[in-house]
Amino acid sequence: MGDEIELISDGDGLAVVGDATAVERFLSSAGVPSKDLQLHQKLGSALNAGSGVAQAGSQLAANSGRWVKLTEESAKALKLGQAMKGSTDGVSRAIATTSKGKVTKILEFAKPGSVGSMLTNPAMLAGAAGIMAQMAMQQTMEEITEYLKVIDEKVDDILRAQKDATIAEMIGVGMVIDDAMLKREHVGRVSEVTWSSLHGAAQSIATTQAYALRQLDALAEKMEKKSRVGELDKLAGMAEATVEEWLAVLARCFQLQDGLAVLELDRVLDSSPGDVDRHRAAIRAARQKRRDLISTSTARLLSRMDAAAVGANEQVLFHPLKAGRVVRSGNEVAGDVIVFHETIGVEGDRHAIEPKPWREAVSDARDDAVEITEKGAKAVGEFGVRTFEGAKTGAEKVVGTISDRFRGRGAASDDKTRDGE
């Protein structure tokens, strides 16, 4: 077993299971950070259900398990194949041989029950995948904590200033969830008493999330209805001052929802290990739905901010200061949103819009004026030519008509003369 390790991927993370020395050597050679999975300790209830699982449990106890967050960088460093790093609701598994910490051969993509796999039971694999899901969510929670520290003063300001009952309730729920996570860390499980204290927490968090999203949507709607640069300047300044605060509220909501999901999986692992995989898939789907809901609102706001910046650039000739502020505020808000997106795992990018220099606007206006003048002069020239040609044609028609009349009169006189004769 010393030359073999088992790789388990759920798209968010990679579990490396095997002899402690082999696992450590493999991860060290790749230079990627990892965390202890504690599979044996956390699968306590599942390990007691039947001899086949107990045998797998004894194998796990004799081996080590480490978890690595899957990113483009870590997947490249570990030299994983596409099947092991793809984002999927399922779980990819492989047994690999190693030499001096490097994978030399993927022996097989193992299925539950296959010979040579340390996780030989489907329940064990489901339990391991459940723990991996917890590790991924806890990693995000830690990253959100770091994100909130960076804007700690702003977060404190908005939370202290809020008199709205919705925000106040979320703050209280957050304290309860933080307390439950602390107890879980010390006790190793989530007791019935701890779980019962979380009743109604999910609804309170969802209500607060909806409230914060409405604030962003309302700001986007206001910007959509304005086109004058003075109005856009005022709204862009308001966005720069408030958007980051509402993003902080959304980040805290996402963090608390992840915390609830971690606690929920612990309860399922403890009471209904056979349901772990279904719960893991449901939590993953709900988590992605929250991301999509949040990114829809933030993307709409960014779209309106970008439109305002483009519109302001078009008016920079007559409103240079206000137009510049609109563009700068838009870039600030976009930067805040991108950092927030990265923190909760939303992919995307946005290129900053450059404020149009006033001199460039003057130059463009001068070029436009010259072009308009040239077109006008050409039009006048064409008009003059057409007028001259028209007059000439008209004169010719008049002359022709007079000639005809004179010829007619002359003919009549000749007739009269002949009649007189």
Every domain of the chain and the residues it spans: 5-120, 125-358
CA nearest to 27, candidates 115, 96, 116: 96
CB count within 10 Å of CB 172 equals: 11
pTM: 0.74
105 pairs with which residues across the strands? 97
CB count within 10 Å of CB 265 equals: 22
In order along its 421 residues, the chain shows pLDDT tens digits of 447 788 888 888 888 888 888 888 888 888 889 998 887 777 755 555 444 455 555 565 567 789 999 888 888 888 776 656 655 556 777 777 777 666 666 555 544 444 445 555 677 777 888 888 999 999 999 999 999 887 766 656 665 555 567 788 888 899 999 999 999 988 888 889 999 999 999 999 999 999 999 999 999 988 888 778 888 888 888 888 889 889 999 999 999 999 999 999 999 888 887 788 889 889 999 999 999 999 999 999 988 888 887 777 677 665 667 877 888 888 888 888 999 999 998 887 655 555 444 444 444 444 444 444 444 445 444 545 454 455 444 444 433 443 444 345 444 444 444 444 3
Residue 68, SS3 per DSSP:
strand
Residue 353, SS3 per DSSP:
coil
CA nearest to 35, candidates 61, 66, 7: 66
Q: d(Cα 255, Cα 164) in Å, to the nearest integer?
A: 21
How far does CA 35 lie from the centroid of its chain?
26
With contact defined as beta carbons under 8 Å apart, do 57 and 40 qualify?
A: yes
With contact defined as beta carbons under 8 Å apart, do 142 and 344 qualify?
A: no
With contact defined as beta carbons under 8 Å apart, do 207 and 166 qualify?
A: yes
Q: Which amino acid is at 350?
A: R
